[in-house]
């Protein structure tokens, strides 16, 4: 595990924060860029309506030091 990732992961665990949500303007473009960089999208890869009736996607925690990443289109 790269050092920066390990430091971040330890800080996140101490803070008990296991999920981050990032707001994006274009969820499809964000998904495609992250996939191109090796991130895995959970599910079928298509956005679904989230709790705020906005499109959301989730990225695999193993690709982000054990932290679940949510993308929400604003």
Which residues are annotated as catalytic?
70
For residue 61, what is the DSSP state? Answer: G
DSSP calls for 63-74: GGTT-EEEEEE-
Q: Kindly give the residue spans of alpha helices, DSSP state H, lying in the chain.
A: 3-15, 27-36
């Amino acid at each position: 595990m790269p050092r920066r990732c390990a430091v971040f992961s330890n800080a996140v665990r101490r803070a008990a924060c296991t999920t981050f949500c990032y707001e994006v303007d274009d969820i499809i473009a964000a998904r495609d860029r992250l996939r191109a960089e090796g991130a895995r999208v959970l599910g079928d890869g298509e956005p679904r309506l989230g709790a705020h009736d906005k499109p959301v996607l989730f990225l695999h925690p193993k690709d982000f030091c054990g932290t679940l990443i949510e993308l929400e289109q604003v």
